[in-house]
A and B are shown apart, each in its own frame.
Chain A
Amino acid sequence: MTMFSSRNWREYPHRYRTEASKFKKSGKTYIPKRLVDPETGDTEQETVRLPETGKVLTHTIIRIAPSQWGDKAPYALAIIELTDGTRLMAQMTDVEMDDVKVGMEVRLEFRRVQSEGSHGVISYGYKAVPKWY
């Protein structure tokens, strides 16, 4: 499946700099940025950068991957809660897949995530590594 670079480029603020929306009323933060707070309907917000550390809420090992991942499987995937309560999904890397556990402390790092389309344009973003790594 061909993806277009503009589609990835639009997401650079989120993927490269973990920019997120912090809403005034609820104090909640969401990545990617959005116009309306889903809980309060509030539109007053500021752009913040997410904290780098958090913990694993749940995880899996993907052994059969969609076509664009080709031979990259198996890989570990996790839902992470950052120290400010924001949640996101990211691949785990620089760790033995079987060692990933609920509650494990992790840090987000800037990594190569995948390559898009038949030309293999590289898409970067965040992946999670063990905090001590």
Chain B
Amino acid sequence: MRTVCVVGVGMGKWGEIWRMSLRDLHTQAALSAIEAAGVDHLDSLYVGCMSGGLFVGQEHLASLLTDYMGMRGLAATRVESACASGGMAVRSAFIEVASGMSDIVMASGVEKMTDVDGDDATYALATAADQEYEVFHGATFPGLYAMMAVAHMEKYGTTRDMLSAVAVKNHNNGSMNPVAQYPFKISMEQVAKSVMVADPLHILDCSPITDGAAAVILASEEVAKKLGKPYIKITGTAIGTDTIQLAQRDDLTTIKAATIASGKALEMAGKKIDDIQFAEVHDCFTIAEIMVAESIGKYKPGKAGEAFLAGESALDGSFPINSSGGLKSKGHPVGATGVAQVVEVYKQLTGQAESGRQIPGSPKVAMTQNMGGSGGSSVVHVMEVA
């Protein structure tokens, strides 16, 4: 298997981008990644998108998007695993380069979520849960994570302040990210007093509805060296799956798919969790960041919340999490999220993060963890400086 490098990344502004369509959002991110990498062609494209069908009534995206990129004829495939679609696209591109079949492959992600109203967006997102045995009974995504939060609080004494601390920290990081949807700071009080969505989760515990796209270009190390631009290596990649139906899980307080994926990705990279110096994780809800930090093995079950309150996950902490602002502040255009996590790691490892957000101490090893639904799928990547 060949070494696979990230040689360029691209992302436009995320938010409620009413003047841009799904195809425009994607084209903007894709072309900026191509420009950044300085490649003169692509061998293929994997695009992650959860639900073009329900959000804008458009399927058959891969061909449409290559056309609008000015690359008719390019080999292109859409990849879907709910909110983990983007990370899965990165992994698919990785495999194609690692195998030697292609030298330069783009992994991108896109979601256009604000063409429908909030109720319909909630419906579209809920299709990542079990339609007949969760959604039929009225489950929503905030509701599923709320039930995990209640179980976690009951078992480990996790508190409102621990949840709020995740949102406050991520908004602080996002306030320094120019592409973030909500680049402003919030307080613990604001989180606790914001409107309730699904008890005990308030609106400021939830990631937003976002329009956005992100793209990364993966290439063999030979190509990366020739390009002469900063590059990083992907040294581990793995997927874990689990039942998508929350009720069927033995333990409601842990995310098994993330445990499987991080274990395999670390093994592939020849690393241990304590070798990882910072991470971008899937904080679709504040409780998710706590549960993921435990599920990937960084903290013992029930111990992440305390560590977060003590500042360990802050930019200057011992294990910075979501320096980009995470899904919470940067936004969560579901199909694009897993790709944007790789964008952030690339920026951090090549020292290109915007002023104030660069993690101190020139870290060399990082992890991304992207998640589908309530934890029915997870994809983890380990990345290192070249």
Contacts and interface: CB of A to CB of B under 8 A. Distances in A.
Asked if chains A and B come from one complex, the reply is: yes
Interface of A: 1, 7, 11, 30-32, 38, 57-69, 72, 75, 77-80, 87-91, 102, 113-114, 123, 125
A68 B123 contact: yes
Nearest to B130: A89
B147 A77 contact: yes
**3 closest cross-chain pairs (CB), A and B:** A60-B146, A67-B119, A66-B123
Residues of B in contact with A, size category? 35 or more
A64 B123 contact: no
B248 A87 contact: yes
* Prevailing SS type, chain A contact patch: strand
7 contacts: A62-B140, A63-B196, A65-B122, A66-B135, A79-B246, A89-B133, A113-B137
Given A66-B119, A102-B154, A113 B139 contact: no
A82 B142 CA distance: 24
A114 B370 CA distance: 33
B148 interface: yes
User: Which one of B132, B134, B154 has the highest number of Cβ atoms from chain A below 10 Å of its Cβ?
Assistant: B132
B59 interface: no
Contacts of B245: 89
B272 to A, nearest CB: 29
B247 A87 contact: yes
A123 B136 contact: yes
A102 B151 CA distance: 8
Nearest to A61: B199
Contacts of B150: 58-60, 102
Nearest to A80: B247
Interface in B111-148: 118-120, 122-123, 126, 132-140, 142-143, 146-148
A113 B197 CA distance: 21
Given A1-B123, A65-B122, A79-B147, A90 B132 contact: no
Contacts of A77: 137-139, 143, 147
B243 interface: yes
Given A64-B140, A123-B136, A58 B122 contact: no
Contact of B198 (A30, A64, A89, A113): A64
B138 A75 contact: yes
A57 B137 contact: no
Given A89-B139, A102-B150, A32 B243 contact: no
A30 B118 CA distance: 34
Contacts of B126: 66
Given A58-B154, A59-B150, A67 B133 contact: no
A32 B132 contact: yes
A123 B88 CA distance: 36
Contacts of A1: 123
A75 B138 CA distance: 8
A79 B129 CA distance: 14
Contact of B138 (A30, A69, A87, A88): A69
B151 A58 contact: yes
B119 A63 contact: no
B147 A66 contact: no
User: Which one of A64, A65, A90, A123 has the highest number of Cβ atoms from chain B below 10 Å of its Cβ?
Assistant: A64
A31 to B, nearest CB: 8
Given A32-B133, A89-B246, 9 more contacts: A32-B132, A57-B252, A59-B150, A60-B198, A63-B195, A63-B197, A66-B135, A67-B122, A79-B246
Contacts of A91: 137-138
A123 B139 CA distance: 16
A58 B139 CA distance: 13
B138 A65 contact: yes
Contacts of A113: 136-137
Contact of A66 (B133, B140, B243, B246): B140
Contacts of A60: 143, 146-147, 150, 198-201
